[in-house]
């Protein structure tokens, strides 16, 4: 196996890892969006989220992670479509936005019962 074949194999494996990791992260983001819509009495439309941003960012401990922002649509009356978003840092929900509410998910250093909602 020469250098080019090894490099191609590494790139292929990296691509497969990124794809599988993105599927897992998308599923976590979709569940968070569904739960937020259910808690607010909203209808989660299309039963899916769509990636709208993808970049590197640092977490609270300074480690480099992938930040993915997914958008989704929901309805508050059943006749309309409104946009929401969920921001994921690694596999953790960082921020979720529905209606006029912005939910900031507490970091590991905060108490798990202290959820802040900003209006």
| pLDDT tens across the length of the chain (119 residues) | 799 999 999 999 999 999 999 999 999 999 999 999 999 899 999 989 999 999 999 999 999 999 999 999 999 888 889 999 999 999 999 999 987 766 666 665 555 454 444 44
pLDDT at 118: 45
C-beta of residue 95 within 8 angstroms of C-beta of residue 102:
yes
pLDDT at 119: 41
Q: How many domains does the chain have?
A: 1
In angstroms, the CA 82 to CA 72 distance is 8
**Residue 13 φ/ψ, nearest 5 degrees:** -65, -40
The one-character DSSP state at 2 is: -
Residues belonging to the chain: 119
pLDDT at 25: 96
Structural domain containing residue 114: 3-118
In angstroms, the CA 93 to CA 88 distance is 5
């Amino acid at each position: 196996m020469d250098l080019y074949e090894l490099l191609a194999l590494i790139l292929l494996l990296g691509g497969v890892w990124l794809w599988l990791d993105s599927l897992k992260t998308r599923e976590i983001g979709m569940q968070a969006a569904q739960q937020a819509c259910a808690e607010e009495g909203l209808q989660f439309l299309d039963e899916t989220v769509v990636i709208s941003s993808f970049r590197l960012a640092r977490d609270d401990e300074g480690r480099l992670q992938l930040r993915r922002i997914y958008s989704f649509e929901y309805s508050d009356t059943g006749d309309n479509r409104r946009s929401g978003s969920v921001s994921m840092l690694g596999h953790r929900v960082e921020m979720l936005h529905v209606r006029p509410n912005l939910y900031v998910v507490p970091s590991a250093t905060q108490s798990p019962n202290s959820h802040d909602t900003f209006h």
